[in-house]
Amino acid sequence: MTWGIWGKALQKTEIIDLMGHCIENGITTFDHADIYGGYTTESDFGKAFKDSGIDRTSIELISKCGIQYLSDNRNNSVKHYNYSKDYIIWSAENSLNLLNSDYLDLLLLHRPSPLMQPEEIAEAISNLKSRGLIKSFGVSNFTASQMALINKYSTIDVNQIEFSLTQHSAMHDGILDHMMTNTVTPMAWSPLGSVFREDTEQNRRIHKQLGALLEKYNASEDQLLLAWILKHPSLIHPVIGTTTKKRITDAANAINIELELEDWFKILVACQGHKVP
């Protein structure tokens, strides 16, 4: 999301360079959505990918559809959601065209709609899978009950949710429990939460606790925040948003950090401001 005009507005050569850096560090999955950059970022990435010389089978491409965003590039009068069979199919095909790819490794419904019909969604996903246009299907920002509704007709492989130390409600509202029960892979957007964005009493507590653990784990604060997520038994996959090479490298190395049990709870307590029940 941050590679295009909603972030650093990277030029084609910069995108190619950053893709190479990610791959060199073992990060091979690139998370898109049709709406990113007001429907422009997939095109920017696709043009760079076409000229990069990168083997398509060496990377994974994700995209999302469904949000009808207010943009000069779409004739929408209000932000809304469209999960009709024809639209889902068209959107996936359009993303593939823009990304210069023959298939998506994963297609996600971007946000739940109160009007979504699971049978119609299933028809669209079946069509795309049978034609080899998508390998896997999932959702994003769906509750446990919404996942159960869709999963009745279409197998959900992934749910991408907001999850971090400062936004960990999914541990308590049944979402992660549901995913573990049904073998759904969680992805976490905004995995660093508000820790580096806001100067609050909560974040000051967190920084203090992380600081006390830096030397023990020979790690940076952002690495410890990712390691905290990675310890959860649901096997959460964080989606990092940075375009800074060092932070990308640090994030990749966070998988090597195994937080001790009590340290994991110390970090949680620092976030909550009180002991666990």
**Catalytic site positions:** 36
C-beta neighbour count of 201 within 10 angstroms: 8
Taking the C-alpha atoms of residue 111 and residue 153, their distance in angstroms, rounded to an integer, is 18
Phi (first) and psi of residue 90, to 5 degrees = -60, -45
DSSP state of 116: -
DSSP state of 238: E
Question: Cα(121)–Cα(51) distance, rounded to whole angstroms?
Answer: 34
One-letter amino acid at 183 equals T
C-alpha distances (whole Å) from 154 to each of 73, 82, 117 are: 31, 17, 12
Residue reference for tokens 């009808």? 68
DSSP codes of every residue in 142-184: --HHHHHHHHTTS---EEEEE-BTTB-GGGTSSHHHHHHHTT-
Q: What is the DSSP string of 35-91?
A: THHHHTHHHHHHHHHHHH---GGGSEEEEEE-EE---TTS--SS-EE---HHHHHHH
> Pick from 156, 136, 137: which is nearest to 146 by CA?
156
Half-sphere exposure of 262 (CA within 13 A, CB side): 0
- Measure CA 23 to chain center: 17
